Amino acid sequence: MQIGEVIKKLRQERNLSQQALAKAIGVSQKAVDFWEKSINEPKASYIVALADFFEVSCDYLLREENYRNERFR
């Protein structure tokens, strides 16, 4: 699973639109769309913002590991 697929999965689990996620982390809806379609990948600062928003580790987003960061439990 690529990072875009992980982002989409997490977003859909929370019933968020691309626009709502984009607003929450300070990017355009088009950026989220491109990430989810694997056209582009988020830069490091947005990976951190996504991890914080979804309460997962950056490793979870990047490595597709099946765990959530213990810090958020």
Residue 73, domain member (yes or no): no
Query: pLDDT by residue (tens digit) across 8-63?
Result: 999 999 999 999 999 999 999 999 999 999 999 999 999 999 999 999 999 899 87
CA-to-CA distance for 1 and 63, rounded, in angstroms?
8
In a domain, 59, yes or no: yes
Measure the CA angle with vertex 29, ends 26 and 33; round to 5°.
120
CATH for 22: 1.10.260.40
Range of the domain at 10: 3-68
The pLDDT of residue 70: 52
Output the pLDDT for position 28.
97
Distance CA 38, CA 73 (A): 29
71 falls in which pLDDT band (50, 70, 90)? low
Whether the pLDDT of residue 68 is over 80: the answer is no
Quote the number of domains for the chain. 1
Tell whether 45 is covered by a domain: yes
